[in-house]
Structure 1
Amino acid sequence: MTDHPLLSLTWTDPVTGRQGHLVVDRLVRGVASGGLRMRPGCTLEEVTGLARGMTMKEALHYDPDRPAGRYLPLGGAKGGLDCDPRDPEAYGLLVRYLRAVRPYLETVWATGEDLGLTQDVVDRAVREAGLVSSVQAVYPLLDDETAARRRLADAFAVEVDGIGLDELAGGCGVAESVLAALDRAGVPYAGTRVSLQGLGTMGGATARFLSGAGLRIVAVADLKGTIAHPDGLDVEALLAARDAFGTVDRSALRPGDLELPGDAWLSVAAEVLVPAAVSYAIDAADADRIGARWIVEAANMPVLPEAETVLARRGVTVLPDVVVNSGTNAWWWWTLFGDIGADPDEAFAHLRGSMRRLVGSVLARAEADGTTPRAAAHAIVAERLPVITERFGGPV
């Protein structure tokens, strides 16, 4: 990969003075894919790292040795806004940002929800900004744009037990990553304990799928603190008690559920930690408190490099974000391009199969190379990008 992104810009809102960023790391077939996040303190450096991660996710889901489906790889990009999504000025800021970057959204950047934003909010703001869709840059690559847009709209309208299919897709991929790691290690699902940071779109769906597989969710952290129970939490009750930002109404807790400090999710007794909220969640000081065997990165960039070094020395396996949470992006494109339809069983089966193959290949490569899963994922990407460039164009 090139050392520098193809495009990097910072926009300053003329109304509030807040900043927004856009980074296009790489174009493939003339387009880059990556979500738009909103959080206080979001920086250009953060967005640059996320855009590079999207390039990797696209490459990891393109296996040159397997028969290709209709969806073929795109490049990587990311957008970010430095604002609390709960701020009364947040929505207006979002609309003005989208208007400012409209030429890129119309031609090269296909985006969607990310941390702090839901797809319905993004869609509403996109329309107000005068755009057709947040993914309209991809439309020229489609065989039948009308049918593709209808297929994606149908998929977004599907709910499974009260939660949208679009919200469940990413969590299905994260959960399958956990299960694949347990299977490879010969660890049974029943009795395996999981602690999550975040019960929003990704964390909530992950908790549902892991609980359904027989794992025990023993702790969940949100903005108010950590909720824990050593025998397992009532996941469905917590999901039903969430607000739009994933914060749980404490009146829904059962007798015996514990309310602990916000960082307690790191040190509760659990085999698996799933950071599913913010970037930079685990630093070197936190690493010494962690007793889990696996950390599965549902969020983007949650484990700082110095922390991962400490954890690796202690034998803790970190499954990297570019693998674990790549299912959301892949589900969008599989659906839009027509590899799957709006049926949840079909979507989950496709996700599970793809994530199983991907996690298995990364863990096997790490074992063969004597390195970490993150290094293994980087090695696979480094091998695939020249092939993608040869077949579809775009700089190495």
Structure 2
Amino acid sequence: MSENLSFVSPTPNSPWGTYLQQVDRVIPYLGDLARWSETLKRPKRALIVDVPIEMDDGTVAHFEGYRVQHNMSRGPGKGGVRFHPDVTLEEVMALSAWMTVKTAAVNLPYGGAKGGIRVDPKKLSLQELEKVTRRYTSEIGIIIGPHTDIPAPDVNTNAQIMAWMMDTYSMNVGGTATGVVTGKPLHLGGSLGRVKATGRGVFVTGREGARRIGLDLRGARIAVQGFGNVGSVAAELFAEAGAKIVAVQDHTGTIVNENGLDLSKLIPIARTVAGAVSFKGGDVIPNDKFWDVPCDILIPAALEGQITAERAKKTTAKLVLEGANGPTVPEADDILAERGVLVVPDVICNAGGVTVSYFEWVQDFSSFFWDEDEINVRLDRIMMNALNHIWDTADKHKITLRTATYAVACERILMARQERGLYP
């Protein structure tokens, strides 16, 4: 008899707690597979590592790092590595679990994993950042590999960090292993289309969501929270389709223009240290007023837990596209559903990145690389096929897209678990 306990008891309103609630909501739709549902609530493996480095001033600093492999029933672990001062084990557990669901939702042959280091990379020199990356990679090297667990970029990590990770792992195994990470520079086995893939996936799923609710993208007002790689790319694509980006919030603050922000000028400025608020083509407002800006589409593309119950009651959006992982807490999800707001959940909406990461991994193994047009065509087809199947499930059971996505994904995960059996 199984006790109803999770791997780690969640703290209130935590990402792990949000994930567990999402799993509980899908259990009634799993049929006989529900007997395996505890599998979804327990990460397969969690590694905590000390990351000591010598700083430029000669002192020794210690940082805490994590790599969590949530479920690998369908294939090797897949998931990014984030460098952030607020990273915790519980957060990384949730992110790894969402990767399990995400890869299954788009039917990629992966499980879910995630990594992180509790560090503010903005306070490190380039040399110190390299040392942190290489030491962390050496510490988690006992559980990652091209056939076991493949890291990728996430918050505050990029192609250069992936290059250092790939090189460190390769030196430790005695041969170049390009497939150990994705999101690498092109000349080290990276893939065309990878940088814009997550934002493109947000646009593709958002375009279909808008079509389904009868929202014309031409003239539609869009508010974007988080203006890094995901938010800015999605904003560009929506603007090309005729929408107006009326509000943008990044780590420096919030800027609005009801007539639409000029992205060709805003994006280069937002990428500087000064950030979006230094752009002169809009008005700066307090961050908490971002949620009051009249909009048709809301794209949370920052961190977890941003759409609270209070904010869900405020927003005028008809469509929410989750570019970030876990941006909506369960209580807010219910409020949005009651208000008739369509939410395209993170585990399908932002799956473009992991899909093109899969393409990169395949290309590395075959040493045969595709052009960007082919990658975009393949990406769009996979995203649309996955979304249409999820939508059919939602219509059949009269459930939200989130619950439908979990139903489709968890059925695939638990079917693999059941058919593989338990060893020993």
TM-score by length of 2: 0.79
In the alignment, what sits opposite 2:49?
11
What's the CA shift for 1:394?
7.9
Aligned counterpart in structure 2 of residue 55 of structure 1, from 100, 104, 123: 100
AA in 1 matched with 2:318: R
Matched residue type, 2:141? R
SS in structure 2 at match of 1:117: coil
- 1:233-288 deviations in whole A, cap 9, x for unaligned? 111211222326893371x433xx11112233322111111111112222223222
Q: Secondary structure at the match of 2:314?
A: coil
Q: Hey, what does 2:395 align to over in structure 1?
A: 367
Q: Which residue of 2 aligns with 1:325?
A: 350
**Structure 2 residue 293 is matched with structure 1 residue 253:** no
Say which is worse superposed, 198-207 or 283-292, in terms of deviation: 283-292
| Pair 1:280 & 2:330 matched | no
Q: Separation in 2 of the partners of 1:178 and 1:137?
A: 28
Return the alpha-carbon distance in structure 1 between the equivalents of residues 312 and 374 of structure 2: 39
Equivalent residue, structure 1, for 2:330: 305
Aligned CA distance change for structure 1 residues 181 and 357 (closer, same or farther; 3 Å)? same
SS of the residue corresponding to residue 175 of structure 1 reads helix
Aligned CA distance change for structure 1 residues 375 and 30 (closer, same or farther; 3 Å): closer
Compute the displacement of 1:121 (Å): 2.3
Distance 2:162 2:422 in 1: 30
Q: CA deviation at 1:125?
A: 4.5
Match of residue 37 from structure 1: 82
Give the deviation of 1:388 after TM superposition.
3.9
Q: Which residue in 2 is equivalent to 1:98?
A: 137
Encode CA deviations 1:161-219: one digit per residue, 9 max, x unaligned: xxxx3211111111011101011112211111110011111111111111111111111
Q: Of residues 3, 24, 46 in structure 1, which corresponds to 2:91? A: 46
Distance in structure 1 (CA, Å) of the matches to 2:315 and 2:63:
36
Residue 67 of structure 2, aligned match among 19, 22, 31: 22
The one-letter code sitting in structure 2 at the alignment partner of 1:241 is: I
Counterpart of 1:143 in structure 2 is none
TM-score (norm 1): 0.84
Structure-2 residue corresponding to 1:343: 371
Task: Give matches, 1:235-246, under 5 Å.
Answer: 235-243=263-271
Q: 2:149 aligns with which of 90, 109, 123?
A: 109
Structure 1 counterpart of 2:180:
136
Residue 86 of structure 1 pairs with residue 122 of structure 2: yes
Aligned mates of 1:79, 1:198 — CA distance in 2? 21
Q: Which moved more, 1:306-315 or 1:337-346?
A: 337-346
Q: Is the 8 A contact 1:200 1:245 kept in 2?
A: no
Supply the distance in 2 between the matched residues of 1:61 and 1:395 (Cα, whole angstroms).
25
Deviation string for 1:7-66 (max 9, x for gaps)?
Answer: 01222334434321111012246621111111121111111111111111111122xxxx
Unaligned runs of 5+ in 2: 1-36, 53-59
Q: What displacement does 1:80 show?
A: 1.3
Q: Amino acid of the residue matched to residue 140 of structure 2?
A: V
Match of 2:5 in 1: none
Q: Which amino acid aligns with 2:382?
A: S
Tell me the secondary structure at the aligned position of residue 299 of structure 1.
Answer: coil
Cα RMSD between the aligned structures? 2.8
Q: Which moved more, 1:117-126 or 1:288-297?
A: 117-126
Relative distance call for 1:193 and 1:394 in structure 2 (3 A) is farther
**Aligned-pair identity (%):** 29
CA shift in 2, pair 1:50/1:152, >3 Å: farther
Q: Give distance in 2, aligned partners of 1:59 and 1:219.
A: 33
Count the aligned residue pairs: 366
Distance, in Å, in 2 between the alignment partners of 1:51 and 1:152 is: 28
User: How far apart, in 2, do the equivalents of 1:320 and 1:395 lie?
Assistant: 31
Q: Describe the SS at the equivalent of 2:143.
A: helix
What do residues 84-142 of structure 1 show as CA deviations (whole Å, max 9, x unaligned)?
Answer: 2212155433322111111212362101100111122232244256454574289xxxx
